[in-house]
Amino acid sequence: MTQRLNEKLIKKVINLRKMGLSYKKIANKLEISSATSHKYAKRTGISLNGKERIEKNNKKRIENFVKRFAKEKEIQEIKINKKTVRIISHCLFDGSVCTNNIGDYRISYTNSSKKEVNQFVKDFEESFGIQVNDIKKMKGKNIDWYEIYFCSKQAFMELHKYIPNYSTSSKKCELRPWIFELPRQLKIEFLRAFWLDEGCVSADGKIHGKSKSKKVIEQIVKLHESLGIECSIWKDNTSKNFAIYIHKKNENIQKFSKIGFGSGIVTRGKYLGERKQKVFSDIF
Query: Which residues contact residue 69 at a Cβ distance below 8 angstroms, ignoring those fewer than 6 apart?
Result: none
Query: What is the predicted pLDDT for the residue at 191?
Result: 98
Sheet with 207-211: strands ordered across: 199-201, 207-211, 242-246, 231-235
Query: What is the predicted pLDDT for the residue at 34?
Result: 80
Neighbours of 67 (CB within 10 A): 8
The amino acid present at 74, given as its one-letter code, is E
On whether both 239 and 205 belong to a single domain, the answer is yes
On whether both 22 and 95 belong to a single domain, the answer is no
**pLDDT more than 90, % of the chain:** 59
On whether both 219 and 120 belong to a single domain, the answer is yes
Query: What is the predicted pLDDT for the residue at 3?
Result: 75
Q: Contact at 8 Å (CB) between 91 and 109?
A: yes
Taking each helix axis from N to C end, the angle separating 184-198 and 82-92, rounded to the nearest 10 degrees, works out to: 30
Sign of CA dihedral 262, 267, 268, 272: positive
Q: Is residue 110 part of a domain?
A: yes
> Which CATH number goes with the domain that contains 226?
3.10.28.10
Sheet with 95-99: strands ordered across: 95-99, 105-111, 145-151, 134-138
Strand ranges for 100-181 from DSSP E: 105-111, 134-138, 145-151
pLDDT interval class at 31 (50, 70, 90): confident
Q: Is residue 1 part of a domain?
A: no
Single pTM value for the model: 0.73
On whether both 160 and 193 belong to a single domain, the answer is yes
On whether both 144 and 202 belong to a single domain, the answer is yes
* CA–CA distance, 51 with 53 (Å, rounded to integer): 5
pLDDT interval class at 40 (50, 70, 90): confident
Render pLDDT for 232-282 as a digit per residue (tens, 0 to 9): 998 877 778 899 999 999 999 999 999 999 999 998 888 898 999 999 999
Render pLDDT for 156-208 as a digit per residue (tens, 0 to 9): 999 999 999 999 999 899 999 999 999 999 999 999 999 999 999 988 889 99
**pLDDT more than 70, % of the chain:** 92
pLDDT interval class at 76 (50, 70, 90): low
If you write DSSP's letter for every residue of 19-37 in order, what string do you get?
A: TT--HHHHHHHHT--HHHH
* Residue 49 pLDDT exceeds 70: yes
Q: Which residue range is the domain that position 44 belongs to? A: 7-69
Query: What is the predicted pLDDT for the residue at 98?
Result: 93
pLDDT interval class at 5 (50, 70, 90): confident
Q: Contact at 8 Å (CB) between 259 and 195?
A: yes
Q: Is residue 2 part of a domain?
A: no
On whether both 107 and 241 belong to a single domain, the answer is yes
Q: Is residue 74 part of a domain?
A: no
Query: Which residues contact residue 197 at a Cβ distance below 8 angstroms, ignoring those fewer than 6 apart?
Result: 89, 90, 93, 94, 111, 264
Query: What is the predicted pLDDT for the residue at 69?
Result: 45
pLDDT interval class at 126 (50, 70, 90): very high
Tally the domains of the chain.
2
On whether both 56 and 94 belong to a single domain, the answer is no
On whether both 124 and 145 belong to a single domain, the answer is yes
On whether both 148 and 105 belong to a single domain, the answer is yes
* Residue 67 pLDDT exceeds 70: no
More confident residue, 57 or 6: 6
Q: Is residue 131 part of a domain?
A: yes
On whether both 134 and 187 belong to a single domain, the answer is yes
Question: Considering 69, 93, 120, which residue would you say is the last residue of a domain?
Answer: 69
On whether both 63 and 121 belong to a single domain, the answer is no
Question: Considering 20, 48, 69, which residue would you say is the last residue of a domain?
Answer: 69
The pLDDT mean for the chain works out to: 88
